[in-house]
Structures are given as structure tokens and as C-alpha cells.
Amino acid sequence: MSEIKTIGVVGAGTMGNGIAQLAAQMGANVIMRDIKDDFVQRGLKAIDKFLSKGVERGKVTPEQKAAVLGRVIGTTDMGELAKCDFIIEAVIEDLDLKKQVFSELDSICKPETILATNTSSMSITLIAAATKRQDKVVGMHFFNPVPLMRLVEIIHGYNTSDETVKITTELAQKMGKETVEVKVDSPGFIVNRLMIPHMIEAVKLLEEGVATREDIDKALKLGLNYPMGPFELMDFTGMPWMAFSDTHLGAVEHLVQVAGVARPVSPALTGLPRLAETWLVLYETLHDVLACAKSQDMGHPERLAFIRNLASSALASVEQD
């Protein structure tokens, strides 16, 4: 693949504008697209605001700020992305929407263009199945806030080529990030697969009356040197992002089935305003996952059967609860 000169970002929200900013700071020309001009302008203003704070702190010069902003173009026209060498999708965690986006990008982009998704837990394989370039579809999971968090997870889909992973890893590193390679398209990848079980156990401790949420947070901060306790983190990020997203039944249900993690407890917990909403999202997601698994032909029967059986089992167990 030739040098990456123009990077497209689909979605101008918190993650999208952060990724666009990083790409522009790297020196690439950036086209940031969203469905409404209001969203686009909000994303551009967020980049301006972040860079302005950098100028105030002496970390960015006014000239550098102007140069970065000058390399980012906002648009509502998906067709503008046809000229991009590399595209990163950062829309909301909705499988059907992501598949729609990837299908459209596949139809308008150059054959050599790599399409990356910033999903935090959805199947790269199923997203790639919406395209005719599955070898060039890859997971590129940034963390929030994008300009500050150092890590990017690079995730293989079932058909992702080693060359695609190599190019994506090098791009993330040029953006100033540390990378880890996720070799198997597994729910939750690395970070969320490790983080979610400890959040579940924190909730169990609270429900069982073992300790207050304040003391649970305090114990992990002082005993394990965590910068933030599990409940603080859940409230900071918002539980629905863990929303046990479509396709993968959510990392929680996968870990229940595969890794023996204890099932999450009742959402009737005081002080966790977002948890009940998340549980409803999970229940609806299970139906969507099962329908999706039945309708997809991934060219790999064993993998499809695994997803179907996992979905059926998790759905049955939640309905019994």
C-alpha cells in the first residue's frame, strides 16, 4: 500500500473528533464525516477547544493549532471519503449501522483502502462481512479521551490480512500510540475482557452487603493502586457503552459462558442509575445477535455455529432470570 496521506473518519462525536485530531496532528489530511452538519461543526469545535487548551498550557503553539485545524475538513457527504487512503469508523455501537457504513464505504472507496472500526467489542468478522474486502477490514480500538489515552487495540477479523494489521499498527504508532495485537476476534478484546469481570464482582460485593460502593472504590485505589475505583469508572464512562453490544452478546455473557465468570446480579442497586438501562439493552441485544447469527454466512461454519449456540444459550439463561 502507498503512503497514507488522507484519512477518513466516519463519526464526529467524542471518539471520532479525537481520532481526526490525532490524524491531523500526525500530518495527514483528514475528512471527518457525520450525518448532520450540526454534528460535524460540534466535532470541529471540540478539536478547536482541545487544541486551545494546549496553547494555554504551552504544549501547542498557535501555529501548530492552526495547521492541525487546517488539515481537517468536515462534511456530511459520504462520497467525500472516496479519496481516502485509510478510513476509521467511529459511529455508535450499533451493528446494523456499522454494517451499513462499511457496505457503503466498500462501494465508493479505492480497492486498496483499509477500513477500520473503532468498536470496543463488536465482531470485526461480522462487520467485515458487509464488504467485499474482508482482508482489509480491521479493528482499531482507541480509548477515551483519544488524544490522551496511550493505547490502541489492533484486532484481527477472521479474514483480516497480516499486511492490514501491520499497516494499521504502524499508523497507530505514528499517531503516538502504544499498540497491542488482538490475534483472535474475541468479545471484549483484551481491555474490556479483563475489566468487565472485575466490575461485575464489584457489583456483587455491593449487593451482598460486603462493603459500600465508596469503600470498594477506596480499596482498589489504595490496595491495587488503581487511579479510579470500579464504580467511579462505571459512572465516568457510562454503563451503556459496555452495552454488551450487538453480535457478541456482550463481553459479559461471553465470559459467563466461556471463562466461567459469575453472572451479573440484579440491577436493583442504589447508586447505579445506569445499570438498569444497561440490563434492558442486554436483553434486546440477545435477540438481535441471534437473528444476526442466523442470517450471516461468514464462510466458516464452525465459527458461525459457535456464535449461534452462544447466542441461544445466553438468551435462554437471561429469559429464565
Q: Which residues are catalytic, by number?
A: 120, 141, 153, 192
Distance CA 307, CA 313 (A): 10
Q: Collapsing DSSP states into helix, strand and coil, what is residue 117?
A: strand
Q: How far apart are the two ends of the chain, measured CA to CA in Å?
A: 51
**Which residues contact residue 81 at a Cβ distance below 8 angstroms, ignoring those fewer than 6 apart?**
8, 10, 31, 33, 87, 105, 108, 109
Which of 119, 145, 170 shows the shortest CA–CA distance to 1?
Answer: 170
At 155, which helix (H) or strand (E)? strand 151-155
Long-range contacts for 213-220 (Cβ within 8 Å, ≥24 apart)?
Answer: 213/271
Handedness of CA 106, 110, 111, 114 (dihedral sign): negative
At 139, which helix (H) or strand (E)? strand 137-142
Angle in degrees, 0-180, between the axes of helices 301-320 and 250-258, rounded to the nearest 10? 100
What the block records as the C-alpha cell of 5 is: 496521506
Distance CA 209, CA 36 (A): 47
